[in-house]
């Protein structure tokens, strides 16, 4: 997939943000909704699916392997699945665009089917290592040929029957866990993943909802997740809640712009995803949960956020797995806090769409923020609520979260901030800038 032409954008401070908004459907849940529906026999219906480029890459890949996937005029997606074990040989390479989640989870699916699939991606995705998924899938019998450094393009030659394994995650990664569980779906016997540090559990919740035999228990080394193979998944009607990672941008925006008050509707409150809310509340943010409810097995609520002065904290490292994607916007909140915030324990940021530690340090320093870089995070000297100097040119490094985070930073900058390329925002939040305009009216 060739990257679209760069789209630079200049933003500057504006008045209070006010209004009610909904954020796009949760990206993690959207990916899994399509994959699991494609493995069920019969028609599943999905409402609220995130229609960003990453999720559309998953839809295209599942179509290429035999599923029928269509979006109705009513916005509801209908998926006719092929059944576990029924994936077909794709005729061409699977283009994953910028989506690491699609790549790693689909590698797991292919690993236990008697098919061969080649995975390609854009320049950003092709720079990201896949070794952590290659290792367990190879133990199950899949043959994986990758580019140097365990990168894309790579080819997965699946095996059937695959070998069930017991695998302890060496790093906290929901993607690696999910890849092994998905390979286990079509593997005779019981496949186990041991998770020393909890990570987002959307796969476990949704697989159970589709009828897979999956258990979670506490063991001496952490959670033991067991899946019984040769599963039969039943079609479902799914409602995808709002993405807490996308909501994070507006939580920070309302917190740092004086006079702001917003309500974000229908946000996923899965406890493995609410680390940013916990961190912002420690900093003094005014975030209230309203109308808590359960939708499709996930906790959901509306969030009311009002401007509040933020204070620096040492971010508890144990929050890292539940907010790994939100660190860039947390760094922006820290830039406006009173005092020096230290956020560590996030090694994983080095291998995201960009090296998010180095990229955010460079961007914030360009905007006039003093930072100190560690191997696993940043220390940030806050402005105490004062406007940042701004007058900066920053590079997004083809990373949607960097682009959106620096757009929010610009709302509290004295001089304009120009982001070299905001086109990658379409991978996860196509309406981000329209929402920003509407809240600022």
Bond preceding residue 153 cis, omega within 30 of 0:
yes
Q: What is the DSSP string of 88-134?
A: PPPSS-EE-TT-HHHHHHHHHHHHTSS-EEEEE--HHHHTS--HHHH
**Residue 338 among known ligand-binding residues:** no
Bond preceding residue 260 cis, omega within 30 of 0:
no
**Residue 27 among known ligand-binding residues:** yes
User: Are β-strands 116-120 and 94-95 bridged in parallel, bridged antiparallel, or unpaired?
Assistant: parallel
Read off φ and ψ for residue 185, nearest 5 degrees.
Answer: -55, -40
CA R_g for the chain: 21
User: Are β-strands 94-95 and 143-147 bridged in parallel, bridged antiparallel, or unpaired?
Assistant: unpaired
For residue 128, give the DSSP letter.
Answer: S
Q: For residues 43 and 79, is the Cβ–Cβ distance under 8 A?
A: yes
**Residue 223 among known ligand-binding residues:** no
**Residue 401 among known ligand-binding residues:** yes
**Residue 32 among known ligand-binding residues:** yes
Cβ neighbours of residue 186 closer than 8 Å, sequence gap 6 or more: 84, 85, 112, 113, 160, 162, 229, 230, 231
Could you give the CA distance from residue 157 to residue 141 in angstroms, rounded to a whole number? Answer: 9
**Residue 128 among known ligand-binding residues:** yes
95 beta partners: 120
145 beta partners: 155
Which residue among the candidates 54, 201, 302, 325 is catalytic per the annotation? 325
* Active site (annotated) includes residue 286: no
Could you give the CA distance from residue 202 to residue 54 in angstroms, rounded to a whole number? Answer: 17
Here the tokens at position 324 are 């790994």
Q: Which of 26, 98, 102 is nearest to 62 (CA)?
A: 102
Here the tokens at position 174 are 């929901």
- The widest CA-to-CA distance across the chain, in whole angstroms, is 62
**Residue 100 among known ligand-binding residues:** yes
Residue ranges of the annotated binding site are 27-28, 32, 100, 128, 173, 175, 325, 352, 356, 401
Residue ranges of the annotated binding site for phosphoenolpyruvate are 27, 100, 128, 175, 356, 401
Residue ranges of the annotated binding site for 3-phosphoshikimate are 27-28, 32, 173, 175, 325, 352
Residues identified as active-site: 325
């Amino acid at each position: 997939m060739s990257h679209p032409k760069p789209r630079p954008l200049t933003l500057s401070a504006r008045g209070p943000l006010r209004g009610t908004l909904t954020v796009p459907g949760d990206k993690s849940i959207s990916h899994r909704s399509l994959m699991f529906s494609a493995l069920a026999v019969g028609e599943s219906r999905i409402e609220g699916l995130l229609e960003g480029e990453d999720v559309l890459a998953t839809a295209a890949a599942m179509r290429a392997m035999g599923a029928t996937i269509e979006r109705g005029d009513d916005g509801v997606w209908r998926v006719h699945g092929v059944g576990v074990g029924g994936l077909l040989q794709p005729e061409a390479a699977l283009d994953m665009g910028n989506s690491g989640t699609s790549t790693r989870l689909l590698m797991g699916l292919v690993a236990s089917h008697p098919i061969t699939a080649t995975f390609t991606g854009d320049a950003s995705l092709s720079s990201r290592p896949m070794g952590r998924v290659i290792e367990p899938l190879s133990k199950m019998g899949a043959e994986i040929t990758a580019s140097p450094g365990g990168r894309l393009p790579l080819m997965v030659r699946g095996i059937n029957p695959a070998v069930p394994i017991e695998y302890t995650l060496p790093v906290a990664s929901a993607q690696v866990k999910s890849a092994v569980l998905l390979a286990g779906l079509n593997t005779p016997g019981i496949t186990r993943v041991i998770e020393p540090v909890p990570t987002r559990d959307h796969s476990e919740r949704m697989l159970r909802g589709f009828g897979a035999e999956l258990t979670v228990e506490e063991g001496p080394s952490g959670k033991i997740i067991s899946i019984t193979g040769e599963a039969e998944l039943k079609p479902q009607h799914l409602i995808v809640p709002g993405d807490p990672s996308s909501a994070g941008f507006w939580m920070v925006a309302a917190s740092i712009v004086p006079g702001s008050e917003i309500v974000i509707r229908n946000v996923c409150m899965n406890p493995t995803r609410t680390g940013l809310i916990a961190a912002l509340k420690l900093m003094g943010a005014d975030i209230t949960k309203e109308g808590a409810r359960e939708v499709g097995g996930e906790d959901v609520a509306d969030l009311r956020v009002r401007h509040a002065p933020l204070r620096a904290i040492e971010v508890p490292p144990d929050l890292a797995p539940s907010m790994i994607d939100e660190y860039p916007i947390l760094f922006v909140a820290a830039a406006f806090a009173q005092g020096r915030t230290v956020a560590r324990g996030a090694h994983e940021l080095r291998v995201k769409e960009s090296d998010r530690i180095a990229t955010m340090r460079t961007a914030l320093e360009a905007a006039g923020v003093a930072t100190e870089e560690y191997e696993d995070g940043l220390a940030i000297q806050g402005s105490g609520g004062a406007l940042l100097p701004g007058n900066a040119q920053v590079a997004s490094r083809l990373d949607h979260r960097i682009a959106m985070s620096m757009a929010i930073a610009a709302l509290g900058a004295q001089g304009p901030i120009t982001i070299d390329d905001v086109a990658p925002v379409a991978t996860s939040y196509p309406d981000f800038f329209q929402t920003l305009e509407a809240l600022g009216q």
